[in-house]
A and B are shown apart, each in its own frame.
Chain A
């Protein structure tokens, strides 16, 4: 494989232009008269000066250094890296959805408002919750929204409850969101079966607890069998139950969070509902609530009045606004198209196939890598790569070696409760052949760990770069290019990159 690409700045040639603008079609006033000296930019920003071909080739070739769902199996546990339908992207890009201004009159956006209204209702039907907000821009922002509603709810009752209970297996955003919302976090130690321990919960529940934040199925891919007891115990103490819906892919058509006693739920549209991850977003984290909490939802909300749709700002107890406008509309449109395309049978089939795919992989791997909790799983499972430790090979090493086999690695070292954790979520869209190839690759790597451990420890070898020095990156942070840096880096750019 080739050496790394030059930076776009290193391709810059003074005077090159990628894009030309038309001249002003009206009178041109001297701009010094329009913008006084004190407000004027003294020097143009040193952006790269490159041609359109430079740009196209640079960014196309860079893209080819990425593993993506479109090119590789991507079994990242808890991320639900399913196929992202192209149809959804196309529709979201239409002028009718992409070229409308947030303050155009309601009469101009009836189609979009109808879509948003219907999406809320569809999410209610899927989850059994009574009302939704589509405003949060990602799961973490959804959590923040939920936690703020919890706080407002207790405040209104005249109750000061400073604590949130969170299992130690929870995703890091859960405690981070709780802290950001001004709560104290108390950790619940998982029971020996990997689930929430009802005893531990009972011991920690009190009138100082605002809510329990849980994930179901949890981050080990296990269903919290005692969920009805758990939610009942919380409600008896008048604590609310928040569910992180990141693992909704296991529940479609099978279980509705609303039927489990959940008070607040956030969904990740970029997981269960197929919207593309884009290398780190955009996502969307709609939040669903019971009727009792609907008044606390962020405003504005879409209301149907007769046959027309409009935004409604009125609310007695809304926590306010989380987003500059109405949320990640482009993502919401994609999710809507997905839900309508799949419909009832399609969504039911999603969870069924996701669970079967995951169990199939578990069955193929459990002989070599212990799966600590149970012989079956739901849509994902966590294996432990502990058996390789005595050979000097870690889960991290195996993840890197999988890249050489053309497979993105599963999530490693999460959840924290499993040693050398390897969390695998194949999703429903993957074929049996892909799963077989993955299992075979892992088994071969396990063999390599025994016979040629250095091959695994020094992986990856087949990609554009070998294992990167993350220690250097942290000790000597280099977070931007500067012209001086380019001279030093010149030696590293291969001749193959010149145009």
Chain B
């Protein structure tokens, strides 16, 4: 089955119209030596056959409708209002290209402008772009921007920033003559003394995450102050839903704010596609990577929207572009815009509060079981780190929970070996009292 509209007969007619009789004549520039000798692929399928195949693959997965998950670690399962899918799935949203021909893309461009505005409002920053690939690459691009802005060559990155994000930063910067220095944490948050001691005049930027990878709330304001006093930029990687209750990066002086925006209206989808958020203070706008939609007027004076400041981008500046990015995450931007419109300020606050409440309820109920204690004495949003006690381990606990259809907290040992028998638990608004009860029963039984 293929989607070619023309029949073989039409294709033959068209060949003749080109002045040729056989398709081979059109391949005159392709040397025989490189022609495929074999092209072994399974035969095609009709739609019903393809559906059958895909159903068998999908049913071999256990989705979050069937299991209860206490997993977070940078990917969060949040509600999505029905309207988001219903409207975003329209072909007019899903199948256009990047809006280079502005007059034929006013829908996409206006939605981008609205998205940029909402992200600025959420983060309390001056300018936001219309997305990068995901939170991790956004952070990487932020570090590139910092290095190119003040010409300094050292980055201070807290160890409490998500390890995958730090790996991506490291991969992106492998071609730069810079040093990435890790700042240790104490009691679950970045050690400010260690940070202060490392803030020499060769530091381009300080990078911290809020809430951090352990779920703890970091002293962002103090860290930001320390960075600025040393002439460094402050980069904050944040969790958008948490900004319904938590102080936004603009309020504590972040120069660049990044984050993973998939939680705003798109499903967790095994971690991708993501939605890289990127916002800056106004003085950095011309160094910002990624697309920007700007408001302007047409020749009749009507308001309209167009891509602007394009000279930063690869299609014009080529090797001197701010980034190499072209295709980004436009469809997820749209979904986020619809999501945030449906929730509004009150809805976002309530959603964040629900996360806060459910996570603290889970934490309290788990404590009561006496198989774990809090690893750190810090306030948290919807994730917390525990240490197993009394001979219990992450393996034994999670095995017992799996039998009850629950995926327990993520063991942190692979990334933080010093945190032996520690695990990261998450609760979003989707966690219910009966589910918590089920978990506690399973743990008591084991």
Contacts and interface: CB of A to CB of B under 8 A. Distances in A.
Is chain B in direct contact with chain A in the complex (CB below 8 A)?
A: yes
A330 B269 contact: yes
Contacts of A295: none
A182 to B, nearest CB: 2
B41 interface: yes
Contact of B306 (A173, A470, A481): A470
A274 to B, nearest CB: 8
Contacts of A460: 103-104
A16 B345 CA distance: 10
A479 interface: yes
B341 interface: yes
Nearest to B335: A278
A66 B107 contact: yes
B271 A325 contact: yes
Contacts of A103: 71, 73, 75, 410
A89 interface: yes
Contact of A348 (B31, B39, B93, B324): B39
Given A62-B106, A320-B170, A465-B302, A18 B5 contact: no
A144 to B, nearest CB: 6
Contacts of B391: none
Nearest to B118: A47
Most buried by B among A70, A324, A374, A481: A324
Interface stretch (B150-158, B197-205, B348-356): B348-356
B109 to A, nearest CB: 9
A441 interface: no
A40 interface: yes
Interface string A70-84: 111010100101111
B4 A36 contact: no
Contact of B273 (A7, A69, A282, A342): A282
Given A71-B92, A348-B39, A465-B298, A56 B87 contact: yes
Contact of A55 (B14, B30, B338): B338
A47 B167 CA distance: 34
Contacts of B393: none
A241 interface: no
A72 to B, nearest CB: 8
Contacts of B174: 148, 151, 181-182, 319-320
A112 B272 CA distance: 13
B92 A66 contact: yes
Interface in A133-179: 137-141, 143-144, 148, 151, 171-173, 175-179
Nearest to B31: A225
B67 A330 contact: no
Contacts of A139: 326-327
Interface in B15-38: 15, 17-20, 23, 25-31, 33-36
B59 interface: yes
B403 interface: no
A84 B50 contact: no
A489 B110 CA distance: 14
Contact of A104 (B71, B92, B118, B323): B71
A29 B357 CA distance: 7
Interface string B298-317: 11111111101111011111
Contacts of B379: 34-36, 39
Contact of A81 (B28, B97, B111): B97
Contacts of B98: 277, 279-280
B254 interface: no
B343 A96 contact: no
A435 B445 CA distance: 69
Interface stretch (A196-204, A359-367, A443-451): A359-367
Interface stretch (B179-187, B225-233, B243-251, B368-376): B243-251
A274 B260 CA distance: 26
Contacts, number: 716
Contacts of A320: 167-168, 170-171, 174
B294 A479 contact: yes
A436 B176 CA distance: 51
B44 A343 contact: yes
A408 interface: yes
Contacts of A362: 18
A152 to B, nearest CB: 8
Interface string A377-413: 0100000000000000000000110010000110000
Interface string A242-262: 000000000001111001100
B91 A70 contact: yes
Nearest to A64: B92
Given A112-B61, A151-B175, A324-B165, A432 B6 contact: yes
Contacts of B418: none
By size class, the interface of chain B is 35 or more
A325 B103 contact: no
A273 to B, nearest CB: 12
A68 B91 contact: yes
Contact of B95 (A70, A337, A428): A70
A276 interface: yes
Interface in B39-92: 39-45, 47, 50-51, 53-54, 56-65, 67, 69, 71, 73-75, 77, 79, 81, 83, 85-92
Contacts of B338: 55, 59
A125 interface: yes
Given A3-B302, A24-B354, A281-B131, A344 B41 contact: yes
B127 interface: yes
Contacts of A327: 271-272
B358 interface: yes
Contacts of B293: 479
Contacts of B58: 91, 94-97, 111
Nearest to A3: B302
B191 interface: no
A9 B167 contact: no
B402 interface: yes
A60 B60 CA distance: 36
B175 A183 contact: yes
Contacts of B446: none
B342 A55 contact: yes
B102 interface: yes
A319 B113 CA distance: 36
Interface in A430-470: 430-432, 434, 458, 460, 463-470
A84 B296 CA distance: 32
A89 B91 CA distance: 11
Interface string B205-242: 00000000000010001000000000000000000000
B201 to A, nearest CB: 24
A372 interface: no
A370 interface: no
A323 B137 contact: yes
B41 A468 contact: no
A399 B87 contact: no
7 contacts: A36-B217, A44-B345, A72-B104, A176-B317, A329-B271, A360-B14, A428-B4
A-B pairs with lowest CB-CB distance, top 5? A182-B175, A325-B271, A70-B91, A280-B330, A343-B44
